[in-house]
Amino acid sequence: MTNHSPTARRIAKTILNGFDAYFADYQNITLGAKARFETASWQAVHQANKERIDLYKTKVMQVLKLVHAVTSKDTTDLAIWREARATFAQLIANHSNYEIAETFFNSVFCNQYKHAHIHDSNIFVKPSRPPDEKPLRDYSIYISYSGRDGLEYMIEDILNDYGFSVPWEDLQRDVDNICRALREGPLTGLENEKQLRVDMLESVFYRNKAAYLVGRMMFGGQVIPLLLPCLNNGRGGVFVDTVLYSNDSASIIFSFTRSYFMVDAPIPSRFVRFLSTIMPLKERSELYNSIGFHKHGKTEFYRHILAHMKVSNDKFIIAPGIKGMVMSVFTLPSYPVVFKVIKDKFDRPKTVTEEIVREKYKFVSRSDRVGRMADTQEYTNFIFYRNRFSEELLAELQEVAPSKLVMDDKWIIIKHLYVERRMEPLNLYLQHASDEETREAMEEYGNAIKQLAAANIFPGDMLLKNFGVTRHGRVVFYDYDELCPLTDCHFRKIPEARTAEQELSDQPWYTVDEADVFPEEFRLFFSGNPVARKAFEDQHSDLYDYRYWQRLQERIRAGHIESAFPYRRKWRFKRRSHRKPKG
């Protein structure tokens, strides 16, 4: 081991000890998910999610304070941090979670230097060693099951091996439902079920009001997802709600539009590798995000886009669609994300401030996104090659956000931006959609509004341009500057006009407070698109009624948490009421 200064060693050890303490606290919050599910403590679920997200920043700042305390040397000296980085790399050489420890080191450094001096000699821009490629069968993160005794016995064994403290509502019914669905679906062509092998991750994936059993089926060279969403019936029993087995359905369960799972993953990299086998199109960054390690997901994304820049030559351009009043949005055509920069001055009639916009995005990161809001990663001092920016984009950024730019002949540094998955804006999608596609999109649009509202989120500005369509056809909200808790709104009916002058006036003849919302006005969002308007009104005309919103507010204030299913309701198994025989 190379000898480094005592100061560098103390700093490196302090950061590693801090990381290990953070990870232990993170795991303890996560391990409580099982009890919260079994006792149907849904309010506690949301509180634990927020607590776990906030934990990272708290621990990083505690460790930075300790770093200053363990040495009398000048901790602003970059040379000390370069040595500390080298020492840290040696300390984590055999650490099972070295890659997440690297991200923690990066976070401490970035808070020390306000995200300046981003270079691989100072932090881990690149990983300290290649990823572990040992066969996963060497590790005990999953259990393998054989179909040699028949599908029913295998499924029953799988369900019994998950040790919920509450009983199955009707185990035999669930086994029958699963077997029937599999035989009618992915196992249709399997002549001999004894050839089937199933690997199930030992840890349960908890999110919102559901517990997911996650695995894969293998036969004939195929690898097929097997996901079993389990719900608590609220009466001391658990049941399997459906079975999901397509790559697309698995991808939607692990979508960037959903809250992070609570899953006991002592070595997250191994879980990510397993999940990659059933969702090969998902990037590692997305999978780390989905299991709760979103800070390392940022690191993985940054590394991935740097690698992509080396093998591509297209230029960043202004993102297609109607330009926003608050954000300048750009994209790289060959890469599936958008970059959003807050403008220095907002276009009229926007009255929000930059601080408010940042708070809105923070609110989203800590909210239950119910599959209807895009996950957003926030970056400071993001570095780009200047020659990869189109002249049109560069001119726009210099015009609307000059305070966010640092430029020279080679580099452009954007001081603050958000990164989101790229989607086709709903208004553009409708321009080329068939009548059937329009109807489906309007069903999705209304469902998105309703599901967000049930999660106590009101989009504020519900214009079609603020919603996007994913590759799975789901409609997702992505413009957060007008968003607020639903319970902060005052839903009203437009008062009747008392005179002809009032009726013909283009100005309201009644008082309107800042929190007032008039659902009757939602019809205006469809001006110019009568097909979309009719499709929406056929399916969601209840959204025009102020009483719909008031009833929802009452439920939320009473502590009710709605169920949000990341799969079609028609896929849910039918449940007969479970009654014990008399006698």
d(CA 15, CA 23): 12
Q: Fill in the DSSP letter of residue 471.
A: T
At 133 the pLDDT is 65
DSSP states of 132-192: P-S-GGGS-SEEEEE-TT-HHHHHHHHHHHS--SS-BS-HHHHHHHHHHHHHHTTTTT-S-
Sequence letter at residue 471: R
Q: Residue 425: how many CB atoms within 10 A of its CB?
A: 21
pLDDT at 581: 43
**Residue range 220-270, pLDDT digits in tens:** 889 999 999 999 999 999 999 999 999 999 999 999 888 999 999 999 999
Residue 421: which H helix or E strand, with range? Answer: strand 411-421
CB 197 within 8 A of CB 218: yes
Which residue stretches of the chain have pLDDT < 70?
Answer: 1-3, 132-139, 502-504, 509, 577-583
Extract the annotated binding site for ATP. 319-325, 340
Cα separation, 29 vs 41, whole angstroms: 14
Contacts of 479 (CB under 8 A, 6+ apart): 324, 327, 459, 461, 465, 466
Annotated catalytic residue 375 = yes
The catalytic residue among 241, 375, 479, 481 is: 375
Q: Which residues are annotated as a binding site?
A: 319-325, 340
One-letter amino acid for residue 136 of the chain: L
Phi/psi for 341 (5° steps) reads: -115, 130
**pLDDT at residue number 582:** 41
pLDDT tens sequence across 402-453:
999 999 999 999 999 999 999 999 999 999 999 999 999 999 999 999 999 9
